Chain A
Amino acid sequence: MNNLNPDTNREFSVVGKRIPKLDAAQKAMGRAEYIQDIKLPGMLFGKILYSKHAHADIVKIDTSKARALAGVHAVLTGEDVPKKMKMGFYKDNPPIKKGKVCSFRDEVAAVAAISPEIAKKALDLIEIEYEELPGIFDPEKAMEKDSPLVHEYHKSNVLNLPWKLHYGDVEKAEKESDFVVEEKFTTQWVTHCCLGTSGAIALFDSNDNLTIHTNTQIPSLAQKDFLESLKAMGLVNKRVRVIKPIIGGGFGSKLDTYAYEHISILLAYACRKPVKIMFDRVEEFKATSTRQPTVIYIKQGCDKNGKLTFRDMRMVLDNGAYTSWGATTPSVMMMPITSLYRVDNVRFNAKCVYTNNTYSQAMRGYGNPQATFAIESTLDMLAEKAGIGRVDIRRINRNQPGDITPQGFKITSCGISECIDEVEKEFAIDGPKEKGIGTGIASLIHVGGGARIYKSDGCGAILKMDDYGKVDIFTGGTDMGQGLDNITAQIVAEELGLYVEDINVVHTDTDVCPWDVGAHASRSTFVAGNAALGAAKKVKETILEYGSKFLDADPEDLVLRDRAIFVSGDPEKSMPIDKLLRKAHFSPQGKMLMADFFYDPDNENMGKEFKGNMSVTYAFGAHGVKVKVDEETGKVQVLDYVAAHDVGRAINPLLLEGQVYGGVVMGLGYALTEEVVTRNGQNMNANFRDYKLFTAKDAIKIKAPVVETYDEYGPFGAKGIGEPGCVPTAPAIANAIYDAVGVRIFDLPITPEKVLAALKEKKSATTEI
């Protein structure tokens, strides 16, 4: 990289420091208010009645008994939902269903009552007559001609989505390849398991303006969704205020608006009182969305030197009965498919298929973990076939700065090579082996500089300073526990020569916070960070202007540090910032120190061919893992883990490591233990005993070396790191298991029984020979 950020060599006083989360003390004391904790005067409690079938006609609904129950204020069914009130980008999902249910999580009625108990009792009194229809639960079967249709009006179970690309000539490249591997992989449903369950409180003022308190990662886009709902309800030209309480975990789950939010709006409007809907854990498991399950067909080839020649992938995604962002994950799967390692000829085709299962949403990594599992698993197989070391094949094909990938991604900074070095430092990947113990490696690419998924990838920030040198910054970005507050505060403090405690970050209220497209795509540090930096730079300019006047010095010579303004080279000449601010405010024709900034990165929408530089910069990483496989039980024990990430620059290493550790363990669950078990569309393990998250006792030590490549576009050189930690975990584990005992698992999660079955099969195959 020649074009280094001039900031690279600067000494920082706040950026790069391990500054604890600003809201951590509040949380440690139990004072943080989550949606669970909010009570409004006169508030009613809403509850939702779900379908008892995966696929059925609703013959009759009788709500009279529920309506007659004392304490019940409103009972709604699909009949009460305005026709145009539909959720999701495909607009196929009304918040309460009418006439027909297509999955077990279908909402069929809702009530508001003076207590949760009465609301529950009212639900029990609603009588519904169903006529069951044949269900379809396998996406590949749902594609067959004579399969029952999930939505008759749609004519086909296959969604009309454009996920298809072909660059170069895959067929020709395959013929010219020396080695080719072809395999099928499958991945399961997993779910976010936010410790704080979902909930919302809606209320209308006397002018029918809506305020909604809700857990969301997309305040501005949620505002738009709710406005559309109001419009559908006949409430035009009304205001929507979204207030975001402290969020008990996001991970993508709050990237769309949900039925419970729209139902709370309908109930609040019907009752003209605040209505709160709060999920219990079973509901959280059954009625929030999952990661998209996939069936993956992959073919990869290389020449005799190990250089990748082509990658050909086809996927079938179980869309479930309705459509949310899960159906757009192929747009991100394309990224590793076309751009993880150098490969010129690539083809991809994905079909999303309606079934009577639950529908999927965004989840940390957004399709990338699924695609990377297949790519990195087959890369090891290819290396073995070609007789090339597993590290070597990765080095041979590694991405490099200046590359433009087949999809048109412009690789600016790229630390994949250094990340592989870090893994090699920990483990001898291709070294000697102990029995039952193996190592695995897998790399990743992810967007690191925003992602232009919508027409805008922007984020606004408004910064104002008071008479005492303190800053309030209103950001469009969302903190859901990952620590965007800190990143914002550290960036602003650094730029203005202040301390983090001088910065108050406000991100909770659309009435005061500017617009943003949401906390997704690991974009917040990069995009919201740059927005904050932009606003700080503008205010700094004004400060320097006044400083120059008050200190009689050239603005070029002024430095902001330690809450004061100095003339460099003349330490005697200085003024505390607060004094300068008061002087600015109180002088004739005084000026307020306030600035706004809208940062929209210079990235591109992908066009029809899915070409375009989706992100300004890309994050890279490599994970290495050592596992021990018990050949008697098939149990896999993770012995050591190293997760090396190219992060541009660590604005806050403490928080960054937290993102990586958390991502890795989420990835380990994906690889080894987690699965939403279903039976004919019904979730069978809606609790923490049977849905197996890692416990503290299962925790492992993880090393998280940070590779700093100082991206020229990142705020102080930083790239995003929210998602990458969970991307290459599953293939690293699968590769390590193969290394340990010679069996490869193609189907996540890699449970002991799958490993044992594979070992048994291998044994019988060897004895037959």
Chain B
Amino acid sequence: MRLPRFKYLGPETLDQALDLLNTHKDDAKILAGGTDLLVRMKKGLLKPKALISLKALNELSYIKKQDGYIKIGARTPLADIIASDLIQKEARALFQACEKIGAVTIQHYRGTIGGNILQDNRCHHYNQSDFHRSGRQACHKDGGKICYAREEADRCNSTCQSDGATALMALGAGIILAQKGGKRTVDLTDFYTTDGIMPHAMESHELLKEIIIPVQGGQSAYHRLAYRSAIDYPIVCAGVFLKPSQKNEIADARIVVGAMSRSPLFLAQASSSLKGKKLNDTYAFKKAADVSMDSAATFAVHNVGATLEYRCAMVSQMVIQALEQAAAAIKA
């Protein structure tokens, strides 16, 4: 399978990369590890005229703790994140999520954290060959007006299956988007749109530079369901964060459910229901998990294989198991 032709641009510095982005805008795509981008190009889902490679930009590959944040360069390979003591100890959900992505050869060395959280949404009906898609009316994501995943839907119902995004959102992470002559910081919960066509709010002249995770003293966990032990995208996943108070109660909680909808879902109601509860209050966990399921179900779409009913039912399972892991980690 060959790639369509494109022009390869290899900036040496971040500034050069931003210059190029500013010039080419929509005609260019950023190439980090290529494990998502090149596949989509081979399928004809994307036809950029130019690729701006981050290969030379080692300045975008790091993991460090600074000013109360864990900072991760966007081009950091997943393998480095998995191997990082800092991440394993202080952002465990992210470690658990990265470990589950793809398979070692496919993703971990080439795949980057930036690429993972910027991966395009998927849908059984959309992620097909050019030829397959050409035999029918275009769906919303293909520039058309119909949806194959949900009849008569007036918008795209693709799913964000990023493991990394779910974990990071649970960790309360933000991202730094750079552009020529400036940058902005966006909270991940605000970054993802509810639009399946353009799943996140990054402008075409912007580049994901850094991911920042606040160090807030607590424990996180990530749990996912897939049919196989490797290669699979999650069919449901949950990332949670629990911050204990001095009385061993839950001072703050964040529950995020992924692979159910157009973006990872931060579930405010379920999260706040845990405040003030004991760390061993399994009833509260169960209740939070049920609330999570109800909230997530509203957004769920049948588009990634397993039935909707099953995936909804599994939300509470994933949430409860993640909560128990996080609570156990605090106790330890």
Contact = CB atoms under 8 A, between A and B. Distances in A.
B232 A756 contact: no
Contacts of A51: 135
B198 interface: no
B310 A50 contact: no
A697 B2 contact: no
A233 interface: no
Contacts of A757: 309-310
B317 A692 contact: no
Q: Determine the interface band of chain A, counting residues with CB < 8 A from chain B.
A: 20 to 34
Contact of A633 (B132, B134, B225, B231): B225
B124 A684 contact: yes
B298 interface: no
B329 to A, nearest CB: 21
B46 interface: no
B248 interface: no
Contacts of B232: 689, 692
Nearest to A51: B135
Contacts of A50: 131
A53 B2 CA distance: 26
Q: Which of A53, A116, A673, A690 has the most CB of B within 10 A?
A: A690
Interface string B276-300: 0000000000000000000000000
Nearest to A49: B131
Contacts of B129: 282, 686
Contact of A53 (B131, B135, B306): B135
Given A280-B1, A690-B124, A633 B135 contact: no
Nearest to A690: B305
A52 B136 CA distance: 8
A196 interface: no
Interface in B1-36: 1-2
Given A677-B305, A752-B310, A756-B310, A697 B228 contact: yes
B192 interface: no
A695 B310 contact: no
A528 B137 CA distance: 53
Contacts of A673: 227-228
Given A117-B2, A280-B1, A756-B310, A689 B227 contact: no
A527 B76 CA distance: 58
A753 interface: yes
A89 interface: no
A685 B124 contact: yes
A115 to B, nearest CB: 10
Contacts of A515: none
Given A116-B2, A752-B227, A695 B103 contact: yes
Nearest to B320: A632
B233 A692 contact: no
B268 interface: no
Nearest to B125: A684
A688 B227 CA distance: 13
Contacts of A633: 225, 314, 317
Nearest to B314: A633
A695 B128 CA distance: 22
A17 to B, nearest CB: 35
Contacts of A695: 103, 228-231
B269 interface: no
A282 B127 CA distance: 12
Contacts of B1: 280-281
B135 A692 contact: no
Interface residues of B, number: 28
B41 to A, nearest CB: 15
Contacts of A756: 310, 313
B118 to A, nearest CB: 19
Contacts of B128: 684, 686
Interface string B73-106: 0000000000000000000000000000001000
A682 B132 contact: yes
A751 interface: yes
A695 B227 CA distance: 11
Contacts of B216: none
A694 interface: yes
A692 B134 contact: no
A698 interface: yes
A21 to B, nearest CB: 25
Nearest to A116: B2
A757 B129 CA distance: 33
B307 interface: yes
A158 B289 CA distance: 51
Contacts of B132: 282, 682, 686
Interface in B100-143: 103, 124-125, 128-129, 131-132, 134-136
A682 B129 CA distance: 12
A689 B102 CA distance: 9
A50 B132 CA distance: 10
A280 B307 CA distance: 29
A692 B131 contact: no
A592 B2 CA distance: 53
A37 B159 CA distance: 39
B276 to A, nearest CB: 27
A757 B309 CA distance: 10
Interface string B160-177: 000000000000000000
A753 B235 CA distance: 12
Contacts of B314: 633
A96 B1 CA distance: 24
Nearest to B129: A282
Contact of B233 (A632, A689, A698): A689
A282 B136 CA distance: 18
Contacts of B228: 673, 692, 694-695, 697-698
Interface in A43-59: 50-53
A442 B230 CA distance: 29
Given A50-B131, A281-B1, A694-B228, 18 more contacts: A51-B135, A282-B129, A282-B132, A632-B317, A633-B225, A633-B317, A682-B132, A684-B125, A684-B128, A688-B231, A692-B228, A695-B228, A696-B230, A697-B229, A751-B227, A753-B306, A757-B309, A757-B310
16 contacts: A116-B2, A282-B129, A682-B132, A684-B124, A684-B125, A684-B128, A685-B124, A686-B129, A686-B132, A688-B231, A689-B233, A696-B230, A698-B230, A752-B306, A753-B309, A753-B310
Interface of A: 50-53, 104, 116-117, 280-282, 632-635, 673, 677, 682, 684-686, 688-690, 692, 694-698, 751-753, 756-757
Q: Which 6 A-B pairs have the closest CB atoms?
A: A52-B135, A753-B310, A697-B229, A697-B230, A695-B230, A698-B229
